[in-house]
Amino acid sequence: MSNAAPTPDTSPQIPTFLELCAGWHKAAENIEKFNRLLTTDAKIAQTPKELIWTLNKAKLYRYAPVVPKEEQKRTPLLMVFAIMNRPHVLDLRPGHSYAEYMLRHGYDLYLLDWGAPGPEDKNITFDDYTLEYLPRVIRKLKSVSGSDEFSMLGWCLGALISTMYSALRPDDGLKNLILLTAPLDFADKTAGGFTRWSSNPAFNPDTIAEKLGNIPPEMIDNGAKMLKPIENYFGSYTMLWDNIDNPGTVEAWHAMNTWVRDIIPMAGATYKQLINDLYKENRLMEGTMKLRGELVDLKRLKANVLNVIAEADHITPPCQSERVMDLIGSQDKEVFRVRGGHIGIMAGRGAEKNTWPHIESWLAARSD
Amino acid sequence: MTKTNGDFNPFDPTGMFKGMRDANMDAWSKMMIDLVNTDAYAEATGAALNAWLTTSGPFRKVLEDSMAKTLEQLNLPSRDDVTRLAERLTNIEMRLDDLDAKLDESLRPSHSGEN
């Protein structure tokens, strides 16, 4: 008799007929669930809010406060999202919503939804967004909140508009400016796919806008997805399939996919301005950007600034957000670098433990 | 979904596929990101887009013109008519917003106090 331990059997196990049947049944169930998740919408943007202002397609919402008035911060916060997506990602799903988080911390919270431009809006430019719409939104916010001072959080192109507004209207009561993944500096023509593509002479935004009017949402969506094609067209779905028995992951994926699928066009004139004046000529950083004839001088921006940069951002590479800190006139300014991507830093799993608390604590110290 | 014990199992085809996928995903991803970040890709995309816009333009124009004529014959508004109307509505909305601003200003406590 030998005393050696028995060698584990590593040969392939032949499944029984019943195991095969159970496996196929489970696979069929998962395929049906997968298909349902891909083709249905999750309930997103559920935090109660009231519509307080509209102009054309733009809407301003005020969230219902959840803390007693005496515990609320004195300075209201306006959230300005990008113009080519819905702003619901700021209030993605109950239990994982930046809006909900800020309300719990006592902010008087407002959300600007730019809306989806129609054919009649093809001539809208950054001049209009910055100097026609945003001042009216801020006027209404001040009127409703009763506060002459306010904070503003701009994300992506919303951060670009917020920055230009803050430099053009430095005495309008803006106390704190939070920039999230702000595309401002396009000096490096090799940084990121968008810059590289738009710098190529074969790419003509004037022709695109002239022929199409507004830029179709599918074109913008596919352009963004092509920056990381395997992850966006393949990886996202395999991740769902691998985790289809994990309710938490499935719920998060479904909510995010609902937001991603809800795509909107971009006004043609804004698109031309974005590519020609910013991506190609880098006018904001060069000090030559003019809106309605007014020069956007970043030195005039004096609000407190928190600049949040996503280190793995493929849409707005970090170098596009960094140099603005040397050009603005603010005394109180901070750069906060977060590990993550363009959307993930605010809507990903780690946002609630990392990005949100930092923004909140920075803002809390400057909101009374 | 599938047991992944690292061993080859001919009775588990999804496991084989998953193993192959996981082993290659990072390489595919890097390769594609590198590809779309080349000048050649940028040029090819720009050229394809221009070609599509140029070739589809005349067809789109014929369709738009014939549609406009048809709508006119039927006494129905064309897209241009609706667009012009929407622009006028936006201008009216701006006037209303200006009035709203003046009303808010006149109702402000400090303003009332001065009166």
Report the SS3 class of residue B78: coil
d(CA A38, CA A27): 16
What pLDDT does B69 receive?
Answer: 92
Sign of CA dihedral A151, A156, A160, A165: negative
Is residue A72 within 8 A of residue A110, CB to CB? The reply is no
pLDDT digits (tens, 9 = 90+) for A210-255: 999 999 999 999 999 999 999 999 999 999 999 999 999 999 999 9
The percentage of chain A sitting over the pLDDT mark of 70, rounded to a whole number, equals 97
Question: Which among B94, B91, B68 has a CA at the least distance from the CA of B81?
Answer: B68
d(CA A45, CA A90): 8
Nearest to B87 among A120, A202, A211 (CB): A120
What pLDDT does A133 receive?
Answer: 97
Q: 27-86 in A: which are within 8 Å (CB) of B?
A: 27, 30, 53-56
pLDDT band at A9 (very low <50, low <70, confident <90, very high): low
Domains identified in chain A and CATH numbers:
49-364 (3.40.50.1820)
Q: What share of chain A is helix, strand, coil (3-state, %, to 5)?
A: 45, 15, 40
d(CA A271, CA A222): 16
What pLDDT does A22 receive?
Answer: 82
pLDDT band at A1 (very low <50, low <70, confident <90, very high): very low
**Which parts of chain B have pLDDT scores under 50?**
1-5, 112-115
Is residue A341 within 8 A of residue A88, CB to CB? The reply is no
d(CA A81, CA B31): 32
Count of alpha carbons within 13 Å of A166, Cβ hemisphere only?
A: 31
pLDDT band at A17 (very low <50, low <70, confident <90, very high): confident
Q: Would you put residue A269 in left (φ > 0), alpha (ψ -120 to 50) or beta?
A: alpha
pLDDT digits (tens, 9 = 90+) for A52-95: 999 999 999 999 999 998 999 999 999 999 999 999 999 999 99
pLDDT digits (tens, 9 = 90+) for A346-366: 999 889 999 999 999 999 999
In Å, how far is A331's CA from the nearest CA of chain B?
31
Closest chain A residue to B87, measured at CA: A120
Chain A contacts of B87, Cβ < 8 Å?
120
Chain B contacts of A227, Cβ < 8 Å?
33, 36
**DSSP for A149-214?**
-EEEEEETHHHHHHHHHHHH-TTSSEEEEEEES-------TTSSHHHHHHHSTT--HHHHHHHHSS
Binary contact (A212, B53; C-beta < 8 A): yes
Strand A49-55 relative to strand A58-63: parallel, antiparallel, unpaired? Answer: antiparallel
Active site residue A21: no
Binary contact (B57, A14; C-beta < 8 A): no
Binary contact (B18, A15; C-beta < 8 A): no
What pLDDT does A62 receive?
Answer: 98
Chain B contacts of A207, Cβ < 8 Å?
50, 53
Binary contact (B45, A143; C-beta < 8 A): no
| Beta bridge mates, A153 | A79, A178
What pLDDT does A25 receive?
Answer: 85
The answer, yes or no, to whether residue A5 has pLDDT greater than 70, is: no
What pLDDT does B112 receive?
Answer: 47
Nearest to A244 among B1, B79, B87 (CB): B1
Q: Would you put residue A179 in left (φ > 0), alpha (ψ -120 to 50) or beta?
A: beta
Neighbouring residues of A173: CB distance < 8 A, sequence distance ≥ 6: A138, A142, A147, A148, A149, A150
Angle at alpha carbon of residue B84, lines to B81 and B89, rounded to 5°? 125
What pLDDT does B25 receive?
Answer: 85
What pLDDT does A56 receive?
Answer: 96
The answer, yes or no, to whether residue A2 has pLDDT greater than 70, is: no
Chain B contacts of A118, Cβ < 8 Å?
83, 86
pLDDT band at A10 (very low <50, low <70, confident <90, very high): low
Is residue A156 within 8 A of residue A316, CB to CB? The reply is yes
Binary contact (B94, A55; C-beta < 8 A): yes
Closest chain A residue to B58, measured at CA: A211
In Å, how far is A138's CA from the nearest CA of chain B?
11
Active site residue A313: yes
Is residue A266 within 8 A of residue A129, CB to CB? The reply is no
Cα distances (angstroms) measured from residue A175 to each of A102, A112, A171: 17, 18, 9
- Interface residue A196 vs chain B (CB under 8 A): yes
B interface toward A at CB cutoff 8 Å?
A: 1, 7-11, 14, 18, 21, 25, 28-29, 32-33, 36-37, 39, 41-43, 45-47, 49-50, 53, 56-57, 60, 79, 82-84, 86-87, 90, 93-94, 97, 100-101, 104, 108
pLDDT band at A193 (very low <50, low <70, confident <90, very high): confident
What pLDDT does A26 receive?
Answer: 85
pLDDT digits (tens, 9 = 90+) for A243-298: 999 999 999 999 999 999 999 999 999 999 999 999 999 999 999 999 999 999 99
Q: Write the burial class of residue B34 (CB in 10 Å: 0-12 exposed, 13-18 middle, 19+ buried).
A: exposed
Which ranges of chain B would DSSP assign to H, the alpha helix?
13-36, 39-73, 79-107, 109-114
pLDDT digits (tens, 9 = 90+) for A133-185: 999 999 999 999 999 999 999 999 999 999 999 999 999 999 999 999 999 99
Closest chain B residue to A190, measured at CA: B37
Binary contact (A12, B8; C-beta < 8 A): yes
Binary contact (A211, B53; C-beta < 8 A): yes
